[in-house]
Amino acid sequence: MKKIKLGLALLLSCLLLVVSACSNSSSGSEKASSGSKKIQFFVSGDTVEGGALTEMAKEYKKETGVNVQVVDVPYSDFVTRMTNMVKSGNPPALARVTGFSPIWRDKLADLSSTMDSKGVDKNLAITIDDKAVAIPIDLTAVGLYINKDLFDKAGVKVPTSEQDIWTWDEFISDLKIVLDKTDAKYGLVMDPSSHRLSSFLYQFGSKGFVNENGKYTTNAETKKGLETFVKLNDNKIMPTSVWLSGQDASAMFKSGQVAAYYSGNWQLKDFDKNIKNFKWQSVYMPYEKVRSTNLGGNYVIQFKGSGVEKETKKFIDWLYTKENYAKMAGLGGYLPVVEGAEVDYNSSEIATSAYDVYRNEISSSDPVAAVARSVNDKLQLTSDKQAVDALKQEVIKVLNKEESVDQAISNVEKTFTEQYAK
């Protein structure tokens, strides 16, 4: 199988990324009858990635006899439940997170020694007061999937090199051909996420929402991108049900009734294993002004006060040892964050080639893909108030015809200024 190494330093040199959080009402550690301690590792419900961590926990117990219990917490309840545990003085030992609360700031252990000794990419860590309070466990990137059977049936060619990547106008034109010549129900679905939408906007030249002298503003290209997105949600090219009613975009694509899916590399393991009714493919994303993905990922945080701090730190160091990390990344389909980790994805040829597409998307992306999200994520930890989904919520209002694109942009700028400008 193809082996993939970390090669993202050029794009990510400005990155300060952040972490996030998990939670459950259980304690961070429990004493077994023998007197041995149990480390509880909180994750959010993800079969593939959570399964990878479960396998690594089993391996750790075989090697050391220490029991690491992977606890699945619903994503919608993640931050709230963990915050309640911290407030009660009973935090979990360890968590894999994508968002977090300012209440955790002084409760997080310094993982700098793991980051430095194990070769974890420093550009992806969140550092506060020279302490790495959150380190990445993987790297994710937004990307595009197509139903190749539908495109082939319609006679529509897809980009095979960087020289023939679609513009958005060209891509939409081709989607209309696919809809006309096949039984596809919709042309495109996109996860209802500010993160996915931001990538789309970057491709139109948006630089996101930026703090300028104490006030958040955005550029004209953001408006053009949003107007295009709203126009696409016409129940022909894109169904409004995904953003307005929460219909599962992934399930819609996997049904075979949608020509293309705007999501990310975290889908690869699932698609490779479970899509049997049609041929799928990862392809280069369209662009309008610039090529851009959006970077994200999950991060590891360790809480102080769990009662098993030393045991937890030993497990983290073990997990990030190059060979162990490479095994975990292969099981979870991770883009690696440990220098020199050689990952065998044990995937089909189509899935293996998809990792090449994602690496290219990252290396060719506008730097805003790294900077904007990392800045906003760190604000979640350092600001008293949150505005994580401000863009998504305002766009939903536009799709519901409750307000204009101009009003939505103004509201996002106002919210960010009120919550984050200080």
Domain contains 9:
yes
Domain contains 148:
yes
Residues 214 and 315 in one domain: no
Residues 280 and 416 in one domain: yes
Residues 403 and 263 in one domain: yes
Residues 88 and 103 in one domain: yes
Residues 18 and 89 in one domain: yes
Residues 258 and 393 in one domain: yes
End-to-end CA distance of the chain: 50
Residues 283 and 244 in one domain: yes
pLDDT at position 223: 98
Q: Does an H or E element contain 262, and which?
A: strand 258-264
Residue 260: CATH number of its domain? 3.40.190.10
Secondary structure in 3-state letters for 267-297 = HHHHHHHHCCCCCEEEECCCECCCCCCCEEC
Which residues neighbour 8 within 8 Å (Cβ) at sequence distance 6 or greater?
121, 139, 362, 363
Q: pLDDT tens, 100-128?
A: 889 999 999 999 999 999 999 998 999 99
Residues 241 and 327 in one domain: no
Residues 271 and 312 in one domain: no
Phi, psi of 233 (to 5 degrees): -80, 70
Residues 160 and 275 in one domain: yes
Residue spans of the chain under pLDDT 70: 1-36, 45-46
Phi, psi of 363 (to 5 degrees): -70, -25
The number of distinct structural domains making up the chain is: 2
Q: What is the pTM of this model?
A: 0.87
**CA–CA dist 337, 342 (Å, integer):** 11
**CA–CA dist 107, 141 (Å, integer):** 29
Domain contains 332:
yes
pLDDT at position 381: 86
pLDDT at position 390: 94
Q: pLDDT tens, 381-416?
A: 888 877 878 999 999 999 999 999 999 999 999 999
H-type alpha helices, 282-404: 309-319, 322-332, 349-363, 368-382, 390-399
Range of the domain at 149: 142-293+381-420
pLDDT at position 11: 45
pLDDT at position 45: 67
